Chains A and B, each alone.
Chain A
Amino acid sequence: MDRLIELLPRLWTAAFETVYMVGIAMVIGGLLGLLLGLALYLTRSGNLLQNKAVFAVLNLLVNTFRPIPFIILLAAVQPLARLVIGTGIGNNAAIFGLVVGSMFAIGRIVEQNLLTVRPGVIEAARSVGAGNLRIIFTVLIPEALGPLILGYTFVFIAITDMSAVAGLIGGGGLGNFAVQYGYRLFDPTVTWAAVLIIIVLVQLTQVIGNSLARKVLRR
Chain B
Amino acid sequence: MSVISLRDVTKTYPPRSRGAAVTAAVDNVSLDIEAGEIHGIIGYSGAGKSTLVRLINALERPTSGSVTVQDRDLTALPEKALRQERRGIGMIFQQFNLFESKTVWGNIEFPLKAAGVPASEHQRRISELLHFVGLVEQAHAYPEQLSGGQKQRVGIARALATNPSILLADEATSALDPETTRDVLRLLKRVNEDLGVTIVVITHEMEVIRQIAHRVSVMEKGRIVEQGDVFDVFAAPQAAATRQLTVGVVSAPPGEDELVSLRQRHPGRVVSFSFVDGGSAQAQIFVALSEAGLRFELVHGGIDEIRGRTFGTLTLAITGGDASIDSVLAQLADVATITEAH
Contacts and interface: CB of A to CB of B under 8 A. Distances in A.
Contacts of B162: 128-129
A60 B100 CA distance: 33
Given A138-B110, A142-B102, A218-B142, A129 B115 contact: yes
Given A121-B99, A145-B101, A129 B111 contact: yes
Nearest to A143: B101
B99 A142 contact: yes
B93 A129 contact: no
Contacts of B336: none
Contact of A130 (B83, B100, B159): B83
A118 interface: yes
B214 interface: no
Contacts of A127: 57, 59, 86, 89-91, 159, 168
A130 B114 contact: yes
In which size bucket is the chain A interface?
Answer: 20 to 34
A120 B93 contact: yes
Contacts of A118: 95, 97
B331 interface: no
B99 A139 contact: yes
A126 interface: yes
Query: How would you classify the secondary structure of chain B's contact residues: helix, strand, loop or mixed?
Result: mixed
A22 to B, nearest CB: 29
A128 B155 CA distance: 11
Interface string B67-103: 0000000000000101111110111010101111110
B101 A128 contact: no
B86 A142 contact: no
A139 to B, nearest CB: 6
Interface in A103-130: 118, 120-121, 123-130
A52 to B, nearest CB: 11
Residue of A125, A126, A127 most packed against chain B (CB within 10 A): A127
B110 A123 contact: no
Contacts of B114: 125, 128-131, 134
A130 B110 contact: yes
B99 A126 contact: no
A81 to B, nearest CB: 39
Nearest to B82: A129
A31 to B, nearest CB: 21
Residue of B86, B90, B142, B168 most packed against chain A (CB within 10 A): B86
Contacts of A131: 80, 83, 114
Interface of A: 118, 120-121, 123-131, 134, 138-139, 142-143, 145, 216, 218
Given A124-B93, A129-B114, A139-B101, 5 more contacts: A127-B57, A127-B90, A127-B168, A128-B110, A129-B86
